[in-house]
Amino acid sequence: MRIEKLGLDEGECALVAPGSNFFYLTGMDFVGVHERLFLLLVTKNDKPAIVAPELYENELDKWKGELYLWQDGEDPFDVVKDLLKERRTKKLLVEESAPAGIILPFMDVYDIEPLSRRIKDIRERKDAEEIEKIKKACSIVDMVFEELLDTEFEGKKESDIAKRIDERIFELGGKPSFETIVASGANGAEPHHTISGKIIERGNFVVMDYGAKVDGYCSDITRTVAVGEKKDKEIYDTVQEAQQKAFESVRKGITAESIDRTAREVIAKKGYGENFTHRTGHGLGIDVHEDPYITAGNKEALDEGMVFTIEPGIYIKGSLGIRIEDDVAIIDGKGKRLTGAERNLLVV
């Protein structure tokens, strides 16, 4: 059971609110619960307990641990405080994203420690089942890209292409894992461009960054296509080479910063170092951005089961942007691409 992997000591209690950690530990996903106290409590030698509003009783009927339901008008913190006393708690492990209102009632009584120190390592290392779910999400984004190649881009709005991407993700059994990016021409120089009504023109590069979520797990892909004709192919080839060499460097034991450096050196040698303005990648799983981060300064050695993106780019203000992104897993000690859509420059 994943909860046991937390490796808690006597006197420690993890407090987890609904979200990605809650889903990872319980397999349950709840939305719209943040206005009412809803917590998972995990201690070493006790059954995990959920304290939740009574209105979620039916949704919790399959929960195998202890369950404490509270009604409007009651103070749910009294329930939590009693449980902490019963379990002889001395230290609370709390998510960094937890609202202050969850932490403040306990600060004068217990030592507080970030939960990330305990859960980061186990969430980073995906098991076979998790990787299969990510593969399903990757297969959807690959299919979407293949279908887009038959689309007439010239004269369409960026928002038209984004809408088509999102519709196909839903139709193929997923849902978008983040807000789809479609950036044409000069808009491509903004790595996190917000889609607009800009008309896509002949000669534009179009950057498409999108993802699918299936069974709670995400994919994330970026492909850049040329509209009508190939221009600035040398820049595209530089990004492609950087992405390929970074991928080829992936293996068990390599540091995250080493992969980043490999991609960055290729781009710098061609004179575009200042135009690569973001990290080379990020971890991928329940969240579309999670550990490990493939960036300078991250000396973490990558391990079996880790899944992350490799997405170098070149951005020239007022002109263009080019990015190529794949999802990569370390399997049997080596890097394996989970996204397989065409990476060579295509004209649409």
**Cβ contacts of residue 296 below 8 Å, gap of 6+?**
257, 260, 261, 264, 279
Quick one: tokens of 178? Answer: 């983040």
Quick one: tokens of 197? Answer: 């009504």
pTM assigned to the model: 0.94
Query: What is the C-alpha separation between 94 and 13, in angstroms, rounded?
Result: 9
Query: What is the C-alpha separation between 324 and 308, in angstroms, rounded?
Result: 14
What string of pLDDT tens digits covers the 348 residues of the chain?
789 889 999 999 999 999 999 999 999 998 767 788 999 999 999 999 999 999 999 999 999 999 999 998 899 999 999 999 999 999 999 999 888 888 999 999 999 999 988 899 999 999 999 999 999 999 999 999 999 999 999 999 999 999 999 999 999 999 999 999 999 999 999 999 999 999 999 999 999 999 999 999 999 999 999 999 999 999 999 999 999 999 999 999 999 999 999 999 999 999 999 999 999 999 999 999 999 999 999 999 999 999 999 999 999 999 999 999 999 999 999 999 999 999 999 999
Burial, 24: exposed, middle or buried (Cβ in 10 Å; 0-12, 13-18, 19+)?
Answer: buried
Q: How do 205-210 and 181-184 pair as beta strands?
A: antiparallel
